[in-house]
Chains A and B, each alone.
Chain A
């Protein structure tokens, strides 16, 4: 009896101690986070999903609302945005970080470090660059905003290359895929990909270069591209790409071999049936050139963003370290590309 009374007392204390947690209805479930920076400081826009009250959950209709704020730091801007609503911002479902034109570059890393360290958020949220400004995030109605959110999710899924927050946090360089967002029209589609080194945009990659970068990182298994060939523009699908790394310890070079199959070769006249292998060889040559270009732009600039050097270091770490100390490691010619494609 004594034990029961004691347990009851503890239970009552617990119930009244405020441990009951935040009710779900008091949270603003942030779906997308937009950050931008200019000389006045940081601008934050939180797009969160809510719904009308309905005991029958099947009748509930979602709508998206927008909170914006500004501050000297990312934390201040977020706090300012949250204070505009009585709800508590909840970042647990936030999967998308959009960086405005000012936030891309040096400021990008500060934002990513802050968000990565915040345990409420997701360190693997997808990061995209956009050209929209904070003021643009005011579509007409809640349903339009919700439709825009769905478009953003779709665009994220369609994007060839996905950059994660934790990879950008604390790094001096990074690859930032972009989205073309029109808040008024409620559309979002994948755009090009930007390469940032030392806080500056040093290169803009087209779809082909982006696809190659995604292939090297193992993010995609098949990709549909368009190539300019002797026969004109040709669309194709690269299936079952296999990337092999063969280090040569004598010369301390890395032979990168990309092989795969080309399907659905089409031009303006439809499916191509003749001369497919010649086309495949031409496309392979173009991919080789693109691979060398992105190698020059990343590895050649002292930033092994695609982690190609691992395959050589893992074989002879001491020699590679010696080369690095001598300043000769990041030589783009150290990685030799060979692309072999077969047309189906």
Chain B
């Protein structure tokens, strides 16, 4: 008998995990702050509506296809996260760490977190969020002298750019479905999902505004936009603090990995309860290896998004009938 994890904590751990892809961006956003803010504001209600069936579909008596697609999406997401975090770390530090060694270094922490279970991961998320908050304050203080409102780019008609930027914001990630899966009832899951989406959108918009206020028009073309802003900042005799920020962001990446891996294993336990059925993991693992070897990170993201869309569509199927 373990203590129940409150909805607030569930929302908090998912929100904290979602901060990782926002901070560890490895591609140019291609959109300015104004368009990003509009895209985020538009994405929240659209995503919330898209995610409505998740609670029903991911319930223990929901369609197997829904949970199976979700598990597959999580597997792809875990691989993608490792790849992106390793690439980000190698790009931003002098350390040439291959994917294998990166995985070896983070494996102990991730597996320990997975072993701790959702309760441990959730509480750890609180600690990481505090660290991230401290890092955010430090970042703001360090670039305050270079912040200019006049650097913000004003777009006369953002509609064209908005339709180009929106698909990236609407790309599904597994963390969007987690609140619905974790919550006791679908209605509670929808409330938590709304709160998480709102928080995610606010942070994404705030980062875009901060980045553009510092870098100006060049923000949209930066490969690592938030990291570039972090590189500019210094406090007192500490002239360069980006390594500190990278270390804090790595904590968030670890948390996201822990959460995704735990959720994946949990789902697999439910989908493949017997030792015999676990043989199905072999073709699944092989498919994942092929994906890793042949696809880019962006393509894997789209595969993951596609699987999640499949899961949501499958959620609309009728529930399994219990055998009499």
A119 and B216 form a contact (CB under 8 A) = no
B232 and A14 form a contact (CB under 8 A) = no
Q: Per DSSP, are chain B's interface residues mostly helix, strand or loop, or mixed?
A: helix
**Interface residues of B, CB < 8 Å — how many?**
29
A21 and B95 form a contact (CB under 8 A) = yes
- B152 (CB) vs chain A CBs: closest residue: A310
- Chain A 113-129, CB-CB to B under 8 Å as 1, else 0, gives 00000011011100000
Considering the chains assembled together, what is the distance between the CA atoms of A122 and B227 in angstroms?
A: 12
Q: How far is the CB of B324 from chain A (nearest CB, A)?
A: 46
Which of B92, B105, B231 neighbours the largest number of chain A CB atoms within 10 Å of its CB?
A: B231
B148 and A218 form a contact (CB under 8 A) = yes
Does B156 lie at the interface of the complex (its beta carbon under 8 Å from any beta carbon of A)? yes
Stretch of A166-174, A176-184, A229-237, A283-291 on the interface side? A166-174
Does B218 lie at the interface of the complex (its beta carbon under 8 Å from any beta carbon of A)? yes
Which of A7, A13, A17, A307 contacts B150, CB < 8 Å? A307
Q: Which of A115-174 contact B (CB under 8 A)?
A: 119-120, 122-124, 164, 166-167, 169-170
Which residues does chain B contribute within 8 Å of A170, judged by CB atoms? Answer: 218, 221
Considering the chains assembled together, what is the distance between the CA atoms of A322 and B156 in angstroms?
A: 9
Does A321 lie at the interface of the complex (its beta carbon under 8 Å from any beta carbon of B)? yes
Does B277 lie at the interface of the complex (its beta carbon under 8 Å from any beta carbon of A)? no
Q: Which of A10-40 contact B (CB under 8 A)?
A: 10, 13-14, 17, 19, 21-22
Does B101 lie at the interface of the complex (its beta carbon under 8 Å from any beta carbon of A)? yes
Which residues does chain B contribute within 8 Å of A314, judged by CB atoms? Answer: 152, 154
Q: How far is the CB of B255 from chain A (nearest CB, A)?
A: 22
Does A313 lie at the interface of the complex (its beta carbon under 8 Å from any beta carbon of B)? yes
Which residues does chain A contribute within 8 Å of B94, judged by CB atoms? Answer: 21-22, 120
- Chain B 137-165, CB-CB to A under 8 Å as 1, else 0, gives 00000000010111110111100000000
- Chain A 284-328, CB-CB to B under 8 Å as 1, else 0, gives 000000000000000000000001101101100110111000000
Assuming the contacts A122-B240, A166-B215, asked whether A318 and B231 have C-beta atoms less than 8 A apart, the reply is no
B156 and A321 form a contact (CB under 8 A) = yes
Considering the chains assembled together, what is the distance between the CA atoms of A218 and B152 in angstroms?
A: 15
Considering the chains assembled together, what is the distance between the CA atoms of A13 and B101 in angstroms?
A: 10
A19 and B150 form a contact (CB under 8 A) = no
Which residues does chain B contribute within 8 Å of A13, judged by CB atoms? Answer: 104
- B92 (CB) vs chain A CBs: closest residue: A119
Does B91 lie at the interface of the complex (its beta carbon under 8 Å from any beta carbon of A)? yes
Which of B91, B105, B156 contacts A14, CB < 8 Å? B105
Does A93 lie at the interface of the complex (its beta carbon under 8 Å from any beta carbon of B)? yes
Q: How far is the CB of B294 from chain A (nearest CB, A)?
A: 27
- A310 (CB) vs chain B CBs: closest residue: B150
Which residues does chain A contribute within 8 Å of B232, judged by CB atoms? Answer: 122-124, 164, 166
Does A92 lie at the interface of the complex (its beta carbon under 8 Å from any beta carbon of B)? yes
Q: How far is the CB of A57 from chain B (nearest CB, A)?
A: 16
Does A217 lie at the interface of the complex (its beta carbon under 8 Å from any beta carbon of B)? yes
Which of B104, B239, B240 contacts A10, CB < 8 Å? B104
Assuming the contacts A92-B240, A119-B92, A123-B231, asked whether A310 and B157 have C-beta atoms less than 8 A apart, the reply is no
Assuming the contacts A166-B218, A317-B155, asked whether A19 and B231 have C-beta atoms less than 8 A apart, the reply is no
B91 and A119 form a contact (CB under 8 A) = yes
Which of B92, B108, B157, B215 contacts A7, CB < 8 Å? B108
Which residues does chain A contribute within 8 Å of B239, judged by CB atoms? Answer: 93, 95, 122
Q: Which of B103-134 contact A (CB under 8 A)?
A: 104-105, 108
Which residues does chain B contribute within 8 Å of A17, judged by CB atoms? Answer: 101
Which of A119, A169, A317 contacts B218, CB < 8 Å? A169
A-B contact pairs, 14 of them (CB 8 A): A10-B104, A14-B101, A22-B94, A119-B91, A122-B232, A123-B231, A123-B232, A124-B232, A166-B228, A166-B232, A170-B221, A310-B149, A317-B154, A317-B155
List of 7 A-B pairs having minimum Cβ-Cβ separation, nearest first: A321-B156, A307-B150, A313-B154, A310-B150, A124-B232, A317-B156, A317-B154
Residues of A within 8 A of B (CB): 7, 10, 13-14, 17, 19, 21-22, 92-93, 95, 119-120, 122-124, 164, 166-167, 169-170, 217-218, 307-308, 310-311, 313-314, 317-318, 320-322
